[in-house]
Amino acid sequence: MNIGFIGLGIMGAPMAVHLANAGHQLFVNTVGPVHETVTATGAKVCANAAEVTKQSEIVFTMVPDTPDVEAVLFGENGVASALQAGGAGGQRKVIVDMSSISPMATKAFAQKINALGADYIDAPVSGGEVGAKAASLTIMCGGDEAVFERVRPLLEKMGKNITLVGGNGDGQTTKVANQIIVALNIAAVGEALLFASKAGADPAKVRQALMGGFASSRILEVHGERMIKRTFDPGFRIKLHQKDLGLALQGARELGLALPQTASAAQLMQVLAANGMADLDHSALVRALELMGNHEVAKG
């Protein structure tokens, strides 16, 4: 199959490679140079999103934020400019957006793409760079069931836990919920390890003990270790998680909800952004707590 992939960053590049390794011909476009792992697959580099779309039956997008998706889809030489009713073999083309963006905007984007004779699936992911490289991402999908089943074999090359949640936008809603849970868990682990370290206990041994109890979690396992070893290279950047929590709080306002713990986590991330740390991994949320407590988690 001819597959398009737009956005080849930390996550997108390994995801695209998995598709190529499955035998598909890639047509790609990204900001900046294409990573050598992608070009090594024989991927054809295109000048713009329109060219990718012309060559492809299914087009994946993996870019940072809502305005980026809008530009890729509807900007000059964007995906929409190349869409025609009936793709290769008489089938409609499918746009699969794997970015993490606004659920409301996603619904509007899907309607516009549908009106141009193509189908749309929102399929944001969780699992970070590690999951992208291991093809073990969790993928949360919104869209028509028949279209989802058409793209599922491709999604299975990139992830393990793949769920059709509902219609367009519901995948993005699920991702926002995911990001709320992850942020609050990172904050909880950070507070616990900071408390233990300040009290004089060995945070590495505290973490080891907690891993055997009810407090055990993937966040404690992976990000707790990062906090102790002080390894904050991304990963998943603070500024991207900030964006996701912003979507949560914006949605909460529209729905008339209060999300106080989400707001608190967003403010901790703003502390880091204000101190020039927005490009660190989101496990560095502990650094905001350390700044306020004037104490660092002891390095293990």
Question: What are the residue numbers of the active site?
Answer: 175
Which of 51, 69, 150 minimizes the C-alpha distance to 105? 69
Distance from C-alpha of 55 to C-alpha of 73, rounded to nearest angstrom: 15
Rg of the chain over CA atoms, in angstroms? 20
Say if CB 112 and CB 103 are below 8 A apart.
Answer: no
Which residues lie closer than 8 Å to 36 by C-beta, 6 or more apart? none
Range 212-218, long-range pairs (CB < 8 A, 24+ positions):
217/185, 217/189
Element (H, E) at 288: helix 285-293
Measured in whole angstroms, the distance separating CA 2 from the mean position of its chain's CA atoms is: 24
Number of other CB atoms surrounding residue 99 within 10 Å: 25
Which residues lie closer than 8 Å to 223 by C-beta, 6 or more apart? 186, 189, 282, 283
Distance from C-alpha of 40 to C-alpha of 34, rounded to nearest angstrom: 10
Distance from C-alpha of 117 to C-alpha of 134, rounded to nearest angstrom: 34
Which of 270, 284, 103 minimizes the C-alpha distance to 177? 103
Residues in the chain, total? 300
Which residues lie closer than 8 Å to 167 by C-beta, 6 or more apart? 142, 143, 144
Q: Give the β-pairing of 137-142 and 125-126.
A: antiparallel
